[in-house]
Amino acid sequence: MKKILLLNDSKKGVLNLPEFKNHKIKIYRSDNFQEACGIMLHDYIDLFIIDTVATDSDGDSVGGIRFAEAIRRVQQYCFTPIIFLSYLEDPKLFMYEQLHCYAFMEKPYDRSELIKVVETALEFPKPQIKKRNLYIKDEGIIYSMKIQDILYIKSERRRLYIYTKKEAFTVKNRTLENIIEEISSGDFVRCSRFYVVNKRHIKSIDYVNRIITITGTKEEIDIGPSMIKSMKSKFSS
């Protein structure tokens, strides 16, 4: 299933699933910078569509451009197609070239043309990202671990516990938010205030009892009540 993230002042309109020949498409809609950043870090996005007048957390109209810059700072999105929706007289047009956008649609744009551009962009293969390592300090020693080997991360009493296939590490003075930002992978999903799991290692999800089991470990990980809806959305495909 291909996934599109649309950043627009209004969560309505612009794109609708029935308009596509390939209905195996999921569209995330956001109307603000902070929410859009959260979505792209918690799921892998195949195409970004950005309205340049979208606002940031301060109501600044350059939120769309800021979001494009944030996208390119995440390794797995260095070459992911971005389509901009804007007016040609936009004074920041030069930034679109620097951000390597896939297409620029001038408002008012032709809807059928936008659909064609989107369908073509979705044919791009996912970029092959080199295996990366995470470096952490535990008891004065710096350790290197392959990010894909991390099973889950737990936050408890101002410490993080990182569990891999073979061992566990304790990290002080770091938060889950810090680690998620450093890892910058859509494979990692936050399921509660205290846990982040690598969805590639999930064995089962019990939504009734709010429990996740991970391959290679007997620990049962709780799903926060407020996270049930977003978890179902992320794994609906």
Domains of the chain from N-terminus onward: 2-121 (3.40.50.2300), 133-234 (2.40.50.1020)
Three-class SS string for the chain?
CEEEEEECCCCCCCCCHHHCCCCCEEEEEECCHHHHHHHHHHCCCCEEEEECCCCCCCCCCCHHHHHHHHHHHCHHHCCCCEEEEECCCCCCCHHHHHCCCCEEEECCCCHHHHHHHHHHHCCCCCCCCCCCEEEEEECCEEEEEEHHHEEEEEEECCEEEEEECCCEEEEECCCHHHHHHHHCCCCEEECCCCEEEEHHHEEEEECCCCEEEECCCCCEEECCHHHHHHHHHHCCC
Residue 121 binned pLDDT confidence (cut-offs 50, 70, 90): very high
Model confidence at 91, pLDDT cuts 50, 70, 90, reads: very low
Give residue for tokens 């918690």. Answer: 42
Give me the pLDDT at residue 95, please.
Answer: 60
pLDDT digits (tens, 9 = 90+) for 160-205: 999 998 889 998 878 888 788 778 777 888 899 999 999 889 999 9
Q: What is the pLDDT of residues 22-74, one digit of tens each?
A: 667 888 988 888 888 888 877 789 999 998 766 555 555 457 888 888 898 88
Q: What is the pLDDT of residue 35?
A: 84
